[in-house]
Amino acid sequence: MATRAENAQVLKQELGLEIDTSGPDPKAPQLQGWADRLATEKDAVQKEVLTWQVQNTLDVELEPEGVTVEQLQNWLGRADTEREAVLAEINGGSNANDLAPTAPSATPNETVLVTVNSVIAGYGGTFGDPEQDPEKRVIGKEPLSVKLTHAVGRALVDGTLVLAE
């Protein structure tokens, strides 16, 4: 039986996924099982490893049947910088792939009335946009009229910000 580090290296070579073996998880039998199944079930193993990584990175439970590899990769890639938004997508069942692929088109100086989504607001979280005027750079739970910059447009697309009424 290969060591945890050896199995992690095989998974890295075959799937391009880094697995940190300095901690107690994943356990040796789990890593061995993934490595053993790579030749016959590569796609399934990739999804299992990504699911495990998202669950451990964000401390959240996922039902892998309803999630795509692309979603898992997206969430994992954003977990460090957009943790609250990713958790909102996961817990709210929002599928980033179902959202509009591009930000709303903006005319110069166009403004929108926005707030952070309810999950982010519930944690007291905010969204920052350095392109806004100084008094409008931090968007929270209170509706705020801001310029429709690229950052605001992307945040509207990914659900971090919502249009206020």
Contacts of 19 (CB under 8 A, 6+ apart): 8, 11, 12, 26, 31, 49, 53
Per-residue burial over 8-40, b if 16 or more Cβ lie within 10 Å, else e, is bebbeeebebebebeeeebeeeebbebbeebee
Structural domain boundaries of the chain?
A: 4-98, 111-163
Amino acid at site 149: T
Q: Which residue type sits at 129?
A: D
pTM: 0.55
Q: What is the pLDDT of residue 27?
A: 87
pLDDT score for 91: 79
Phi and psi at residue 22, to the nearest 5°: -75, -25
Kindly list the averaged pLDDT for each block of 10 residues, start to end, along the chain of length 165: 88 89 86 89 88 87 80 88 87 51 55 89 88 91 91 84 87
